[in-house]
Amino acid sequence: MLEDEGVSRLALDHDSTALLIMDCQNEIIHPEGKMVPWGFAAQVAERAILPRIASLAEAARRAQVPVIYIIVAYEPGHREVRENARMFRGARKSQTLVKGSWGAEVHAAIAPQPGDLVVNKLRVNAFYGSPLEVILTGLGASTLILCGVATNFVVESSARHAADAGYRVLVAEDCCASMNAAMHAFSVEHILPIFAEVVASETLIAALEPAS
């Protein structure tokens, strides 16, 4: 994880910040989900990210910072999927992440609360083909806190897009996981710092607390 000397004094404008919790769905991160062989569930448990995400979300709610859950869910039959990428072919074949199913639900440990927003996407990038940008514009958000699974998939691709779009991007490193430790480490050490501030969740929670 990369942090600069000023991270402990991180400043956030609560009125223009939004928290994005991405792809933390049963099929992906639950030990009984269909994607267990990918390694996500094991890494989520090993890195103990769910309690940290829950704490970060609660801090955001206290600060009246919007909490937005990004999920990926398809109609039965996966008609929205073009089989141009291996992961999408696999999703159709296994009927993974079907709308309305247990697998498509957010993990119960970090389930959305009243007032939270849920945005459905159909690809890896949280922005691509989803209403996220319109929602963020309506909220007046210019700073995004990103977390979720996987670090080098949805977090990284969304950070790249957000940076291109002019957002200030912060990644809660200890609220992210990937297929294995090496993939996570490479992303947070070599890729994400180019597009985002990579910080610990406790730093973000402190920044979300009211000024004393």
pLDDT digits (tens, 9 = 90+) for 13-34: 999 999 999 999 999 999 999 9
191 domain residue, yes or no: yes
Decide: 26 and 98 in contact? Cβ < 8 Å: no
Rounded average pLDDT over 167-193? 98
90 pLDDT tier (thresholds 50, 70, 90):
low
Residue 2 inside a domain? The answer is: no
| Position 168 in a domain | yes
- Asked if the structure places residue 128 within a domain, the reply is yes
Query: Where does the pLDDT of residue 202 fall: very low under 50, low under 70, confident under 90, or very high at 90 and above?
Result: very high
Residue 1 lies in a domain: no
pTM of the predicted model as reported, rounded to 2 decimal places: 0.92
pLDDT above 50: residue 211: yes
58 falls in which pLDDT band (50, 70, 90)?
A: very high
The residues near 50 (Cβ < 8 Å, ≥ 6 apart) are 24, 29, 44, 107, 109, 110
Interhelix angle for 49-62 vs 40-47, to 10°? 70
Q: Where in the sequence is the domain holding 22, given as residue range(s)?
A: 11-208
Residue 42 lies in a domain: yes
63 in a structural domain: yes
Confidence of residue 85 (pLDDT cuts 50, 70, 90): low
DSSP three-state, residue 92: helix
User: CATH number for the domain including 28?
Assistant: 3.40.50.850
Average pLDDT over residues 57-71: 98
- Is 3 contained in some domain? no
The total number of structural domains that make up the chain: 1
Average pLDDT over residues 130-139: 98
